[in-house]
Amino acid sequence: LQSKYDPELAAELTKWVSSIIGEDLPCTGDKKEFHTTFRNGVVLCKLANAIKPQSVKKINQGNSPFVFMGNIEGFLNTIKKMGVPDQETFQTTELVEGTNLYAVQCCLYSLGRKWHKIRHSRDSVHSEAKAKTSGDVIGLQMGSNKGATQSGQSFGNTRHM
């Protein structure tokens, strides 16, 4: 599963989270950096509260894995209530121990899709600053066509005249 980790996606997701919570986060896509940024669950709780205010009541500070797991659990419960499917979430230990960061990426990507739908379904007028951040999501939604070519494709025989 670690081989599925995508540094480009990690950088894009971190940049998106940074724009939502209004804090500068390191977003080079490095696996250790991604793990360190999200491991304690504080950034995830801030993200949940930015999307749905007061959804995570208490964000715990501390260096214990149990504190980390409490924060992550609060985040996961909130996003499930927002409609992110269970299949697109991760286990708390996968993030705390860094054993499946790809699942964390998939979860944040799924949350980005939900946030985009929630954001655009509201009838309220957005401030200029918020309108700017909604532009950051589009790249996340489009995916990548890196390496997509039609070379090597052949459909049947050529026409002989």
The set of residues, in sequence order, having a beta carbon less than 8 Å from that of 79 and lying 6+ positions away, is 48, 89, 107, 111, 114
For the domain covering 2-141, report its CATH number. Answer: 1.10.418.10
* Alpha carbon of residue 85 to chain centroid: 14
107 in Cβ contact with 90 (< 8 Å):
yes
Domain residue ranges in the chain? 2-141
Decide: pTM greater than 0.75.
Answer: no
Q: What is the pLDDT along the chain (161 residues), one digit of tens a residue?
A: 556 899 999 999 999 999 999 999 988 989 999 999 999 999 999 999 999 999 999 998 989 999 999 999 999 999 999 999 999 999 999 999 999 999 999 999 999 998 887 777 764 545 555 555 555 554 545 555 555 666 655 555 666 66
Could you write out the three-class secondary structure of 4-68?
HCCHHHHHHHHHHHHHHHCCCCCCCCCHHHHHHHHCCCHHHHHHHHHHCCCCCCCCCCCCCHHHH
The set of residues, in sequence order, having a beta carbon less than 8 Å from that of 43 and lying 6+ positions away, is 17, 21, 23, 25, 37
